[in-house]
Amino acid sequence: MTGVVVYRGMNRATLDRQYSPSSRVRSLPAYLDEYRRLSEAARRDHPVLTGLAYGPHPAETLDYFPGTRTGTGTGTGAGTDTGTATGAGTGRPPLLVFVHGGNWQALGRAESAFPAPPLLTAGAAVAVVEYGLAPDVGLDTMAGMVRRSVDWLLQNADRLGFAPDRLHLCGTSAGAHLAAMALLPDPLDGPDVSGRIAGAVLLSGIYDLEPVRLSYVNEALRLDEAAALRNSPLHLLPARLAEVVVARGGNETEEYVRQHERMVAALRPRAAVTEVVADRRNHFDLPYDLGVGSSRLGSAVLAQMGLGGSTT
C-alpha cells in the first residue's frame, strides 16, 4: 500500500512527510523548549494579565501584555481575570493577537508568549490565545474559539487599554489557518469578527485542508471531505479583506511552499498583500522575527500596525 498515490502524485508516506514541518529541522524538541523558556522570560520581564477567560470552555483563555507606550498596566497571577491596563484615549496602542501552531493538537499560551517582547518594545499590546486541541475539540470549534477571543478582546478594549480599531490577528502554522478562518464572514461557529480585524499576519500556514485530510494529521482531526472543505479558507475568501502579511520560511516542505503561494495568489485580488519569504528561517523560528524591525517580516508587521517598518 505504500506505493498507492493519495494526493498530487504522492503516496501516504511522502504526503505525511510533506505535512511534517519538523522533517526540515534538526530538533523539534529544542524549539519547543526554547518557546517555553522565552515565553517564561516574557511573562517575567513584562507586565501581563494571565489566564483571562474569553469563553466558557476551560481552554478559552488568553494572556494580555499591555502596550508599553501607554502605560505599564498591572500584572496578575495565572488564572485571574482582574486588573486594568492603562492607556485609554487617543494614545492607545494597536493590539497583535497571536494564535499558536502545533498541528491543531499541541502547545498553548504557556509556550506561546515568546513573540511579545519586540512587539511591546515597538509600542504594540499583545494577546496570546489558547484554544482547545484535537482530538478533544474539532476544527469547527477551534475556529469558533479564535473568533470568540477576538470578539472578547474587542468588547474589553477600553478596560485593557488598546485601540479597538487597530486589532491585528496573527497566526503561525495551524494558528495561521485559524486566523485565516476568522477573516471569513458568516461563520459556522463563533461570532463574525471578519469586519473588525484591521489586518492579518499569516505565517507558514495551511489554507487548503484536503491534503491534510489524507495525511496522518487527520488521525487527530477526523475530518471528512465536507469538513475539510468548510475549513479551507483558500476556497472561501470574500471579495474584500483587510491588509495581509503572508510569510513563510525559506526552509519549508514543498507542500507548505505550495500552500503559501496559492494563498498569496488568492489574496492579491482581494487585499493589500505583503509577501515575505525569509530565506534564513524555517517553519519554527520564523515567528521570532515578529516585531523585529530589522527583519523583513518584523518590518512588514510593524508597518501594517502603524508602528514604522516597511512593506517593501
DSSP string over 66-132: --GGG-------TT---------STTPPPEEEEE--STTSS--GGG--TTHHHHHHHT-EEEEE---
Q: What is the CB neighbour count within 10 angstroms for residue 280?
A: 11
Alpha helices in the chain (DSSP H): 12-18, 28-45, 116-122, 139-155, 157-160, 174-182, 210-213, 218-221, 225-230, 254-267, 296-304
In angstroms, the first-to-last Cα distance of the chain is 48
CATH of domain 21-304: 3.40.50.1820
| Per-residue cell: 45 | 520581564
- Reported confidence tier of residue 2, pLDDT bands at 50, 70, 90: low
**pLDDT of 91:** 87
**pLDDT of 308:** 86
Among 253, 153, 246, 148, smallest CA distance to 205 is for: 246
CA separation, residue 220 to residues 113, 133, 136, 196, 286 (Å): 25, 9, 9, 31, 25
Taking only the tens place, the pLDDT of each residue in 34-56 is 999 999 999 999 999 999 999 99
Average pLDDT on 57-71 reads 84
Q: What is this structure's pTM?
A: 0.92
Look at residue 193 and tell me whether its pLDDT is greater than 90: yes
Are 61 and 108 spatial neighbours (Cβ–Cβ below 8 Å)?
no
Taking only the tens place, the pLDDT of each residue in 159-184 is 999 999 999 999 999 999 999 999 99
